[in-house]
Each structure stands twice: as structure tokens, then as C-alpha cells.
A and B are shown apart, each in its own frame.
Chain A
């Protein structure tokens, strides 16, 4: 988290004072944040181990079939190694509370309208019909036919930084931790985007994610 804080300082300097007022609350050096980063690191170590046992992927692959084969092999390996994984393994209750608080504040803040709109952009719950049904569960694959939400820069600047290959994404009102190399949902936080309640706390009228099915394990 110290590295993250240093990066924020650098970013603020690079972008100049003009951007500083836009940066809201950030998840800083709390014990929960440290523990979350440690769990992320453990996951990435597991991904690295599985990755070393599947066919390598060139950064300039001519045959898209090889990308698909590797993604599937990586997903299978990770699913086997994390057979007992469950919701909350990475988003444990302490850090989950901090995530919810940060996202709530960003969605309601001075620039909340733009942030709420960005959360809806590309969100599968908002896109046109015809996408595959998405199972919201740990170790479930993110369908390649489904679009991916934008994650507002405002929120990405506030949440703990993730290593390459791991991303935050919104799925309906839920926040998922997505392994972008295996297309697996590593963990998720349900209903992190508050419900539409009217007045200042509106969330951009995010639709009910009719194509999502929440599976508890």
C-alpha cells in the first residue's frame, strides 16, 4: 500500500494541481487494505503457478485458437486449485465494508453523476438483450459474449491498485474481481452500488440485472 500511496503522489504531481480536487477518498494504509493486498498477491502466485503449466501465449499470436485454448486451460487449472474458494475469500468482511463505503461516497460525491453514468457504461445489465446468462459465482467464467463495464477512473483511483491481469468490473450492481487471463470471477461483492432511493443518493437508475443469476456456494 505504500507503493500505491507513492503512485498517487506521483500521479498528482504529473497531472498538476488541476486534478487534485477530483481525487476523493482513497483506501489507504489500513490493516484491511494490507490484508486485501496480501490475498491478491497469494492469488496471483497461484495464477502464476498454473500459468507455468499451460501452453505459453505469445504477445503476437496469429492464431486466435491458441488464445482460446490457453484461456480454457488456465481457467481449468485455477478452478481445480481453488475448488474450495468462496465469496469473501478476497473481499473479506472488513475490506468489503471499506470498498462499499468508498464506492458509495464516489457515487454520491460532487462528481457522482458522471461516476454513476460511467458505472453503467458497458455494464451487461444495461446492454442490449441477447447476451449470455452470467452466473455470478466464485470460479464462474465470465462469458466472452458479454460486454464489460467501464470502471470509472474516479473509483479506480480510490480502490487498491491491482496487479496486471486482475481487474475490478461492475456486473449489474455487483463489483467483481475478474482474472482477465482466465476470464474467471475470482471474488465478488454483492450490491455494492446502492439501490435507487431517490434524491441525492440515486445510483443512475441501474436496471435490475435480469440476465444475472446469483449462485451461492
Chain B
């Protein structure tokens, strides 16, 4: 009986840590975390899971969706809530790109490992086809809107991906959609062909049904968790609010693959976003 139980446990663990992304040599690999800076056990366990998956899926960068440091900004906080949990990734040369959440002091932009280069909002090109636009959704002033419009207009990258803290669409009982922000950002996203938007703030995972052709993901549970906080709405394509998680993404040509992984290593969502349309959530096995 004990042998049988051990076998079941082994098989479930093995299955739990399966990778369902193409993992092609020349494609862009990255991870996504949000609301991660607690310094508690959950953050460390998610970080360990990221390290485990990186052995199979060698991502070179991590996008941080804000609330990078909760409850203080002392040097000890930077150590306990960022440098220690992610020390293996940092030691391996993984680059983190942060955005500011409502719990973050804007001076985090000067902290080199967050790669913000002193800017509250910034853009960077991951490769010839992918450009990220990183916004400060706490403070969407005219300068930032002008900057975003100008940068989006000037970009010829087929993949324009925006990430920031506050979700424009959300089924969260605690916060919900940020409609004020949406009124100003969505017209720009539509005008200039943004395809994917990532946000945090809600302490769970939610993949929204495409809104006006744009794919929105909420990934705000990489340390914080607000259990049972996803309300029943017609926005949700997939939701998960029972454990912490992180995301893996891969962009190969005109296709973005995503896999969302829980703290224990189970795949809770996976699928495909295509630049040409024809996007689908697929079962983990099919994604592979």
C-alpha cells in the first residue's frame, strides 16, 4: 500500500512539473510574477518552483507586475523580499524588469536589479519582434500618456506587450476593473496594436476573455493570495484563487505560448495567443 501511495505521489509530482511550452531554442522565454514582495514562505516556495522550471525552460528574464516590496523599503527589506528569494535566479544572470505597485516607493526605480534605469515608466526591446512597455499605473499623468502614445506609435515590433500594476479588466471582489485607467489606456492599445497586457494588484490569477481583441492576464499572486476572491463575471476565461502562482511565457514568431503554474508546481492554465487571431486556451497536453 505504501509503495502504491509513493508511486502515485511520484507520478503526480512528475506530472505537476511538466512543461507544456514548445521550448524552442531561438524563441523568447520569460517568466511573470506579481505582488511578490512579502518575504514570507509563499514567496520563497514560488521562487523555488521557478528555479525548478528554469532547469527545463531557461528563461532569461522575469517581469515583475508591482508590489515588489510590501511593508518597508529598508535595505533589509530588499534583501529579504527580493534578493534572497530570487538569489538563484539572480546568480544565474536572470534579469528582472519591475513596474511600480501601490505598495512600492517610486525610488525603487533607482535600484539596479529592477532594471528601471531611474524611470517610473520605460520600454525595452526583448528581441526584433517583441517590445515591452512598462507603465506606472499609480500615476497616469499627461506626460506618461504622451510618452506612451509616442513610443507605441514609433514601435515597429509586431509584439507590443504592456505591463503595469492595476488591471483594466478584473473579476476581483476586492478591487475589480480600473475603469478610470481603462478610459485612457485602452484607446491607445487599440490604436497602436497592443496584443497582450499583464497586470497584478489582484492576488490571484485570471485570464480574461479577449477584450476588443486584446488579451489581458492578471498575475498578482506570486506571494500574496486572496482566496475565493474571483467573482462570477462574464469576463473570466480562466481563474485561479486557491494558491500562489507564477507564469511562463514563450514567443515564437507570431505565437505566444503561456503556462501558469501553482506554488506546488501544477499547471493551472496554458494556451496560445496568436498575432493573427485564432487564439485558444488549450489543455496542457495539447499545448505541448
Contacts and interface: CB of A to CB of B under 8 A. Distances in A.
A153 B150 CA distance: 18
Interface string B142-171: 110110011001000000000000100000
Contact of B73 (A7, A16, A144): A144
A183 B137 CA distance: 19
Contacts of B78: 64
B107 interface: yes
Given A7-B142, A156-B142, A61 B112 contact: yes
Given A15-B187, A59-B117, A181-B107, A153 B149 contact: no
B277 interface: no
Interface in A139-186: 144-145, 147-154, 156-157, 161-162, 167, 180-181, 183
Contacts of A157: 141-142
A118 B180 contact: yes
A138 B105 CA distance: 19
B139 A144 contact: no
A208 interface: no
Contacts of B141: 151, 153, 156-157, 161-162
A130 B179 CA distance: 28
Interface residues of A, number: 49
A152 B145 contact: no
B120 to A, nearest CB: 9
B73 A64 contact: yes
Given A115-B180, A144-B72, A147-B103, A67 B142 contact: no
Contacts of A151: 138-139, 141
B166 A145 contact: no
A213 to B, nearest CB: 20
B74 interface: yes
A59 B111 CA distance: 7
Nearest to B148: A14
Given A59-B117, A161-B142, A15 B107 contact: no
Nearest to B103: A147
Nearest to B116: A59
B113 A117 contact: no
B118 A60 contact: yes
A25 to B, nearest CB: 15
Contacts of A156: 139-142
Given A64-B73, A121-B102, A7 B180 contact: no
B111 A18 contact: no
A114 interface: yes
A207 interface: no
Nearest to B73: A144
Contact of B111 (A8, A64, A147, A162): A64
Contact of B71 (A114, A145, A148, A162): A145
B184 interface: yes
Given A64-B111, A71-B107, A150-B137, A11 B180 contact: no
Contact of B183 (A57, A111, A161): A111
Contacts of B103: 122, 147-148
Interface in A45-78: 57-65, 67-68, 71
Given A22-B184, A147-B103, A62 B112 contact: yes
A38 interface: no
Contact of A117 (B74, B118, B180, B184): B180
Interface in B234-279: none
B180 A152 contact: yes
26 contacts: A11-B149, A14-B146, A19-B187, A59-B118, A60-B112, A60-B117, A64-B73, A64-B75, A67-B73, A67-B107, A68-B75, A111-B183, A118-B178, A118-B181, A148-B138, A150-B102, A150-B137, A150-B178, A151-B138, A153-B181, A153-B183, A156-B139, A157-B141, A162-B141, A167-B106, A183-B105
Given A114-B180, A121-B102, 4 more contacts: A60-B110, A111-B183, A153-B181, A157-B142
Interface of B: 71-75, 78, 102-107, 109-113, 117-119, 137-143, 145-146, 149-150, 153, 166, 175-176, 178-181, 183-184, 187-188, 191
